[in-house]
A = this chain, B = another copy of it.
Amino acid sequence: MAQQDAQNGVTENAAAAVSFLAVKPQLLVEAPKANDAVSFYKAAFDAEEVARALNPKRKADHELPLILSAELKIAGSTIIVADLVDDSASPLKAGGNGVVLCLETEDVQGAVAKAVSAGAVVEEEVAEIEGACCGGRVVKVKDPYGFVWLLCSPGKKSVDVEA
- List A residues at the B interface (Cβ < 8 Å): 18, 20-25, 27, 29-30, 33, 36-37, 40-41, 43-46, 74-77, 79, 96-99, 101, 103-104, 111, 114-115, 117-120, 143-147, 149
Contact = CB atoms under 8 A, between A and B. Distances in A.
B75 A147 contact: no
Nearest to A34: B145
Contacts of A145: 27, 29-30, 33, 36-37, 40
Contacts of A111: 45
B23 A79 contact: yes
In the complex, which of the residues A96, A117, A145 has the most CB atoms of chain B within 10 Å of its own CB atom? A145
Contact of A74 (B27, B30, B103, B120): B103
Give the number of times this chain occurs in the complex, counting copies.
2
A97 B97 CA distance: 4
Contacts of A146: 98
Query: Dominant SS at the A interface?
Result: mixed
Contacts of A22: 75-77
Contacts of A37: 143-145
A21 to B, nearest CB: 6
B118 A25 contact: no
Contacts of A44: 114-115, 117-120, 143
Contact of A45 (B29, B43, B77, B115): B115
Contacts of A36: 144-145
Contacts of A147: 27, 98-99
